[in-house]
Amino acid sequence: YDKPFLERLTRDAYEQINHINDPFILQSIITSMGTLRIRHCELLDSFGKILLEDSESKTKCIQSFIRTCASVNYSPSTLPTLVENHLKLDENSSTEETNQLNDIKNRIDLVWSLAILDQANQDHVSSVLNQDIFQLIQNEVSNSKIAGALKLLAIYSYSLQKFSKKFLKPTFNIEQLAQQLTLKNSNAQDQLAKTVTTFAAENKYSKFSVVTSNMIVIDCLMVVDKTGTPQDLSTVLTNGESNSASGQTTFNKVRIDENRYK
């Protein structure tokens, strides 16, 4: 895309922000910033204030706003209040089977975005870490679609780092995903290698890093020991070797290219 043109459009939007009253236009700008990874902090700050002032009529905008903030790895000061007081996870729920699947995938993406921004609470996490959703995502994996599964694993890892409460563990792990994709597609092993750089045994260490399509790294910093106790990353070996003195092992690192693996 034309970067100077987009930068000019972003500047224009920032200058005209107080005159944008149509929620559709507002959501369109917010969504475009996330899709194109445009990180304009002042504009996002302004959007946050507008959403906070008129949150009831802009519920859909709030969800788009959270996804965009996660995409560009920026947390405005208004975000905690928007999440705590105005976010509705099931605002767009549907009764049709196809739409229900899309709703669930959107909810996973939203909770994952909240986790990236360190804003996901226990209710958010429990809304996606359940057996019904695991089964739906397992079916997606059977069709070589692994983005949802990787995001659920990231959310689970976040829960270990953030909360003392233990949530339901996903029924799949990184190694199983790799095996499943290899069975479905002879080229999947090479494709997966671009996603999963290293992985350790389950229940040892978990660390998830997300790399967007333009190589912006979103680091969730989720490292726990075998008992689920958070660990300082500087004490964890990263060369794949165990430390016999401390009993520490290497951590998992998962990279997701969202455009390739949706």
Tell me the C-alpha distance between 37 and 32, whole Å.
Answer: 8
The answer to whether the pTM exceeds 0.75 is no
- Res. 99 pLDDT band, cuts 50 70 90: confident
Q: Per-residue pLDDT tens for 161-215?
A: 788 888 998 887 766 666 665 555 545 444 444 444 333 333 333 444 444 333 3
- Name every residue whose Cβ is closer than 8 Å to that of residue 128 and which is 6 or more positions away in sequence: 104, 107, 108, 111, 152, 155
The crossing angle, in degrees rounded to 10, of helices 79-86 and 41-53 is: 30
Tokens of 85: 């007081």
Q: Per-residue pLDDT tens for 49-65?
A: 989 887 666 777 899 99
